[in-house]
Amino acid sequence: MERSSYQEGAVMLTLAEGGRARLPIVVSATASPPERHAAEELARFLHAISGAEFPILSPNADRNGPSIAVGADAALAVGLAPYEFEGLGEEGIRIRTLGSEHLVLTGAPHAPRGTLYAVYSFLEDVLGCRWWSSKASTIPRRETLAIPPLDVRYVPPLEYRESFWYDAFDGDWAVRNKSNGHSVRTDAARGGHHVYKGFVHTFYPLVPPERHFAEHPEWYSEINGERTYERAQLCLTNEELLQFVIERVKEWIRESPEATIVSVSQNDWHGYCTCERCRAVDEEEGSHAGTLLRFVNAVAEAIEEEFPHVAIDTLAYQYTRKPPQKVRPRHNVIVRLCSIECNFLEPLTHESNRSFREDIEGWSKICNRLYIWDYTTNFRNYVLPHPNYYVLGENIRFFVRHGVKGIFEQGAYQSYGSEMAELRAWVLAKLLWRPELDDRELIAEFLEGYYGPAAPHIEAYMKRVYRSAKERGIYLRCFVPHDAPFLTADLLLELTRHLEAAEQAVWNDPERRPRVQVAKLAVWYPILLRWEEVRQRAAQTGQGWLLPEDRIAAFEAFARIYQEHGMTHLAEHRERNLDWLRSQCQGES
């Protein structure tokens, strides 16, 4: 947040003194649910900081004293000029002191989230509150709250921001950290969020083959001269199919009137249609995105008159990633470009990511609403060390420079306990809101706030994993095996020492020690799977062994932390769970 400049000795506005509120919070009697919730949250956290009780009042002609005005109507009542709302849009914020009497925290009138974001930005950037996870926060304590003159106006560059990690779905965490994507649990009072109908891979939900293939095989892919629906797509040049999908999309919107985006997107495999007409379009366009985008454009055009507020979303994914040469997305079409093939150890500006970089450059020239589906975890082994920590900020800034309007950061979305999950979720949320922030500083801030005295040892662990991958020139995908070349036995033994030191540093801290114990699972997990190899290496080199001597005893210690922390998945596939790990440790097939 940029604060206004002020001179030494400028008059401070005192909110609380000696544990007593100096001015009330004022919110309009006709305030929207998000504005009312924003006022309640402000009172709650100001009380937590200062111990003062801040009353929430309505504007009153008989009461002209100092106040904290929350929301547009309250801001106008204390003298904020109407032009101050211009250009704020749905989520822009205005934070301003008016002389030495009033503090204004608002978004634009009728904006669902702006006032909420103004309140949380003030609490975070001015008063120092932090919400690290749904269960961990830092709320400073001081009886006297005095703030300098403020004059802040900010409009986020990204309209869609989703830190898609399991803990980040929590509604309070999401709104406090300004995550507004489809999956967050933010109700109307918390400002709501973007709502998809059919989030992704919707070809078969729209046109179920079990209902339609027998009668209309021509609606599905022709592969090797035959129509099929098995690991296939739709025949996107079929006019009858197009009309059917248009009506289906209209049905979906009527079923879910809250939706503002409908996904018309390919299945999660290849199997594109190679019939004569589809092949001709793709050859003309120089990309399989040609047939897809022409089809999606036709759907978007057909629904626009009845549903002008709804956009049609599709993917640029795997075989459709390359932009087409001729067709252009309509203004009500969102293209989500997916980075699944990238090297996540290196930034997108690195030579190893040249192909993706060329594709985003191409799409950015033709697409008005370009979104990104990015990958920030290891789907094959959620718990394994995954050293993408230091590219998150540079990549988000790269996306924004190329005109991206929305970013979906897919993480470990099914369970607690994935490696550095809370750190990634928080850092990503901060960067999605303000991409220019220094991600290294954000990481350091999170480590200090979340792990306390253990932070230097956790940081040493992260840097050592990253350095090992860099030294070996790893092309880091999002499906990394437990015996990846950078995870040498020597490295795993070294990491156990860093993490053991981290636990010792917070041994008597009942909040932070469990957090460090979860962090330790990232190293215990590959050791459990490579027990004999790592044991032998420890013996050969004289390195200390910090796990239990017995493999089953080590597994049971792992399982206790796993269960206490509410973990359910070790990987995206459900079968890789605690029972699976037990079988590996017992030597079962």
Model pLDDT for residues 554-570, shown as the tens digit of each residue: 999 999 999 999 999 99
Q: What is the pLDDT, as a whole number, of residue 506?
A: 98
Q: Would you call 125 helix, strand, or coil by DSSP?
A: helix
Question: Does an H or E element contain 227, and which?
Answer: strand 226-227
Residue 589 clears pLDDT 80, i.e. is over it? no
Residue 6 clears pLDDT 60, i.e. is over it? no
CA distance 32 to 30: 7
Question: Span 102-117, mean pLDDT?
Answer: 96
Cβ-based burial of 140 (10 A; exposed 0-12, middle 13-18, buried ≥19): middle
Q: Which tokens belong to 545?
A: 């062994």
554's CB contacts (< 8 A; 6+ apart) are: 524, 527, 528, 531, 547, 548, 585
Model pLDDT for residues 456-478, shown as the tens digit of each residue: 999 999 999 999 999 999 999 99
Question: Span 482-506, mean pLDDT?
Answer: 98
Q: What is the pLDDT, as a whole number, of residue 63?
A: 59
Per-position DSSP letters for 53-91, written without gaps between them: ---EE--BTTB-S-EEEESHHHHHHTT--GGGGTT-TTT
Q: What is the pLDDT, as a whole number, of residue 65?
A: 85
Q: What is the pLDDT, as a whole number, of residue 62?
A: 53
Q: What is the percent of the chain with per-residue pLDDT over 70, rounded to a whole number?
A: 97
Alpha-helix residue ranges (DSSP H) falling in 274-316? 276-285, 289-304
Q: What is the percent of the chain with per-residue pLDDT over 90, rounded to a whole number?
A: 95
With bands split at pLDDT 50, 70 and 90, how would you rate the model's confidence at 74? very high
Domains of the chain (ranges; CATH) run: 13-155 (3.30.379.10), 195-320 (no CATH), 452-585 (no CATH)
Residue 91 clears pLDDT 80, i.e. is over it? yes
With bands split at pLDDT 50, 70 and 90, how would you rate the model's confidence at 10? low
Q: How far is CA 575 from the centre of its chain?
A: 25
Q: What is the pLDDT, as a whole number, of residue 9?
A: 53
Rounded to two decimals, the pTM is 0.96
User: Whole-number mean pLDDT of the chain?
Assistant: 96
Q: What is the pLDDT, as a whole number, of residue 1?
A: 43
Residue 64 clears pLDDT 80, i.e. is over it? no
CA distance 523 to 509: 22
Q: What is the pLDDT, as a whole number, of residue 270?
A: 97
Q: What is the pLDDT, as a whole number, of residue 11?
A: 81
Model pLDDT for residues 39-52, shown as the tens digit of each residue: 999 999 999 999 99
Question: Span 362-368, mean pLDDT?
Answer: 98
Question: Span 340-364, mean pLDDT?
Answer: 98
Question: Span 200-206, mean pLDDT?
Answer: 98
CB of 370 closer than 8 Å to CB of 404: yes
Characterize the bridge pairing of strands 102-106 and 93-98: antiparallel
Q: What is the pLDDT, as a whole number, of residue 5?
A: 41
Does the CA dihedral 122-123-127-128 come out positive or negative? negative
Q: What is the pLDDT, as a whole number, of residue 310?
A: 98
CB of 395 closer than 8 Å to CB of 374: yes
Sheet holding 25-26, edge to edge: 56-57, 25-26, 67-70, 102-106, 93-98, 151-154
